Chain A
Amino acid sequence: MSDACSVPRMGHDDMSDIMVELRGVDKWYGDFHVLKNINLAIDRGQVVVVCGPSGSGKSTLCRTINRLESIDQGSIVIDGRVLPSEGRALRELRANVGMVFQSFNLFSHLTVIENITLAPRKLRGVAKEQARQHALALLDSVGIASQADKYPAQLSGGQQQRAAIARALAMRPEVILFDEPTSALDPEMVGEVLEVMTKLAEEGMTMLVVTHEMGFARKVADRVLFMDEGEIVEDRSPSDFFNQPETDRARAFLSRIL
């Protein structure tokens, strides 16, 4: 199982347990080449952080993995299966890949607990009471069990995002995608969300996290990907990336944000 990355790949030694693999992925928006020859393999249990300047395509990369965005060239393989392009197969895969959005995107007409039980009940036929118990346990694990019957608008940003994480967890996914999960939060609430994400990582969840939170990257990530202008420019361990970036672009980026 070779990949075109010329930089050393860090992570688990069990090289055959690849959870997500992108090979030769290209995408254009009209004339704009937003993803350029992306090659990426994420092992089971790895935490990969993607950083880079805005417009670098990191969000798009994240969204291609569950096909919220389609790709024009290349292949995406998740847990050994090629990413389906439509139909029931795609929906089944999406049920297995969780996603947490920058703007939380909780369903505003449902209570927090209804948000969490909707997918298990509708997609997997889980009974109402069972789904509710599981949801309460999840809400408890992210620290907002008391908010279960409130509406999203009644929660703070940090609470909403934690509820969104619980909603993703309710489907027992094998990998969770985080698209700038803390960028829309007031500073004092970023910590509570990062705490939940750190706990998830420690429990062995496979995670792809697009973020600017370098502290989180340093402490929790197994790998840091630096993207710029649609390309993966660097793919290193956190300590290597932060202390000795290889490229000028990465150096410029780091000097701006650190």
Chain B
Amino acid sequence: MKHTHLFDSPGPRGLRLIRMATAVWVAVLLLIVAYVVWRLDARGQLAPGKWLPFVTNVKLLKFLGEGLLQTLSASSVALVFSLLLGIVLAVGRALGHRLLSLAIAAYVQVFRGIPVLLNMLFLFLGVPLVLRLNISAYSVVVIALVLYNSAVIAEIVRAGIAALPSGQRSASLALGFSEFQTLKYILVPQAVRLMIPALVSQFIIIIKDSALGFIVGFHELTAKAQNAALQLSNPLQTYIVIGIVYVAINLLVAHISNWIANRKTNTAG
């Protein structure tokens, strides 16, 4: 969305101001970059030895790759279960008795109000200490993510259903469908389709939150990175590369979903 309507197209004085501001900004930027490069070089951070492993060290790449796989695996599983549980919660809230609706509303309120890290720590500490069971780090992360994201998705679906024209529900009921069938065949599918952009951003949030797994011993990408950085003594470089990987993944996810959304609207009847 452009905001060129905020300004008149510049006259000669305006153009001069813009040119000056452009020059000043570029100069400032170059100065900052130069300073950073100079400083890093002085501390040896630009030495190839710190950067090359990411291209040449196969063991490292395999090591990090395993972490990446864990990240993607946990994120995808968490997304699927969050979606399923979120839809169930939204339907339950729409259909259920007042008590059930209230309970679901409370669930949503609670898990949207506490940090995801807290969920992870509760499971990580609580399950062994209170239930005296072993629980894998993978399960801790996935369950914690599902608890939070199902609450968010339940709200997204609820808002999506509310945003549909009321005629949809009326027409469905008039045809003889039950409330549940109306939700199942008419309302939820439409709401989910409407909410795909929100769901995609939620997936990106899930991928980012999976990085918290390193705190509870889950060997995903960030944990592996931390490990590798320690061994190779190149933390700055490692985290820069890992950051780029995360950004690349999330941008890829956004692009793929755009492509899917475009395909759907082109082929839809």
A contacts, CB < 8 Å to B:
67-70, 84-87, 90
Contacts and interface: CB of A to CB of B under 8 A. Distances in A.
Nearest to B12: A85
Q: Interface extent on B, as a size class?
A: under 10
18 contacts: A67-B8, A68-B8, A69-B9, A70-B8, A70-B9, A84-B11, A85-B11, A85-B12, A86-B8, A86-B10, A86-B11, A86-B12, A86-B13, A86-B14, A87-B11, A87-B13, A90-B8, A90-B11
A70 B12 CA distance: 12
The 4 closest A-B pairs by CB, nearest first: A85-B11, A86-B11, A70-B9, A86-B14
A69 B14 CA distance: 15
A51 to B, nearest CB: 26
B220 to A, nearest CB: 48
A29 B10 CA distance: 16
Contacts of A69: 9
Interface of B: 8-14
Contacts of B12: 85-86
Contacts of A86: 8, 10-14
Contacts of A90: 8, 11
A69 B9 CA distance: 7
Contacts of B10: 86
Contacts of B14: 86
Nearest to A70: B9
Contacts of B13: 86-87
B182 to A, nearest CB: 33
Contacts of B9: 69-70
Nearest to A89: B11
Contacts of A87: 11, 13
A106 B245 CA distance: 48
A30 to B, nearest CB: 14
Given A69-B9, A86-B8, 5 more contacts: A68-B8, A85-B12, A86-B11, A86-B12, A86-B13
A26 to B, nearest CB: 15
Nearest to A84: B11
A10 B14 CA distance: 39
A84 B12 CA distance: 10
A86 B12 CA distance: 8
